[in-house]
Amino acid sequence: MIFESIESFRVHKKMSVQDFCEITQISPSRYSKYKHGSFQFLMISDAVRLISAFTGEINVNILLKWTGEKPLPLSGKFPEFAFAYEPASDSGKSEQIFRRFLISTAFDVFKPEEALKLLAGMADPWNKSKIGLPKTENMYSLMYTLRAIRKIRFTDFCIHAQTVLTHFQRRRLPSRFTDVCKYESAFESGGIYLLSELMFLSMKRHLGIRLCG
């Protein structure tokens, strides 16, 4: 279903496969794997590429619609993604946007004491007075804190419990777009978890993504 939706979008844009792959930075061989069913799920890296290539046209909930999943109640402040042009300055701007979204959404969605716990866990491991783009330690803290606040069991995510545990322990990173959306649905964080995970994975995989908005 996901490939049919992507292909329909490409055709609607009147773009060749080559042009589409160039704009989205999805390689033709990878695109072919979706076409022939080798990839039955949308990978996070490709979801971020699609959102970044078509800012304002494709977003998280449109991709969920394309995969046949329910939309997420994300904060209206959830930023947009785009490809970076100047890595150094873009990283600094992304950090500012991320920090602003995190702080405002935390106090919009959670009780003050819960928001403070979340923000404390997102502090830079080497500079506790600063919140920057997420690192491994932040994601470990964020997932366990959200689980405790929402009183969620490892079997409540519609994902195999052992897989969930490895994701929480950061011994294995999520790869399916729908999986991180299932976590966000359970955490009900307004997009705090989802944005943090997407940015963390984008940096880990060197996708060259920036935040805007």
Residues 199, 102, 118, 182: is their CA dihedral positive or negative? negative
For residue 110, which amino acid is it?
F
The pLDDT tens digits for 71-128 are: 999 999 999 999 998 877 899 999 999 999 999 999 999 999 999 999 999 998 888 7
- pTM summary value: 0.96
Q: Taking a C-beta distance cutoff of 8 angstroms, is the pair 177, 61 a contact?
A: no
Token match 């304002």: residue?
56
Cα distance between residue 96 and residue 109, in whole Å: 20
Using pLDDT thresholds of 50, 70 and 90, give the confidence band for residue 156.
very high
